[in-house]
Homo-oligomer: A and B are copies of this chain.
């Protein structure tokens, strides 16, 4: 018991209640929103007693923050670590979002919680900046003239597509990808990229 504290993996000896709680929060917070999901409902879905939940998390706020932290790798790393794609393709792959995704949970959390000081809001900010940084890294790798600017621009497009998809109930990522392609081609000086194609300008 000295080896594992209550670290990220959670379960020491029990039947992994912490994991079930986080798994249920992934589903319910995304499907119904944070504010509209009560702890009773969440515990029922996780098949965990409410008492246990409050022994793992000091409160709902902490659970929400942890829920955001857990969501990270499945999206961010999944795109940027694909070595089978060229840098330019990786930048565009960030716009290939499966239509099941309701809305970027970071935006949703920031709007729902409505408190910039909330730990989840702070993490959302950090995450968004990290994404922009990774986009900038990839942009640099692709030979962009101003990678930071391109990264920031692509991040803005992603967030715009996410927000617009939510409001309009229609997938806005293809349109964003078209803009992204144009920006990328504009930002990469000729004879710098690896697989640039001339014929696609704006889609």
A4 at the interface (CB under 8 A from B): no
Residues of chain B lying within 8 A (CB to CB) of residue A146: 202
Given A128-B167, A128-B168, A156 and B176 contact (CB-CB distance below 8 Å): yes
Contact assessment for B175 and A182 in the assembled complex, using a CB-CB cutoff below 8 Å: no
Interface size classification for chain A = 35 or more
Contact assessment for A159 and B155 in the assembled complex, using a CB-CB cutoff below 8 Å: no
Question: Which interface residue of A36, A169, A179 has the most chain B CB atoms within 10 A?
Answer: A179
Given A152-B175, A175-B153, A186-B201, A110 and B166 contact (CB-CB distance below 8 Å): yes
A-B contact pairs, 29 of them (CB 8 A): A33-B112, A35-B112, A103-B111, A106-B167, A107-B163, A107-B166, A108-B111, A110-B167, A111-B111, A111-B112, A125-B167, A125-B169, A128-B164, A128-B168, A149-B175, A149-B202, A153-B175, A156-B157, A156-B161, A156-B172, A156-B175, A157-B157, A157-B160, A163-B163, A179-B179, A182-B182, A186-B201, A186-B202, A187-B202
Measured CB to CB, the residues of A under 8 A from B are: 32-33, 35-36, 103, 106-108, 110-112, 114, 116, 124-125, 128-129, 146, 149, 152-153, 155-164, 166-169, 172, 175-176, 178-179, 182-183, 186-187, 201-202
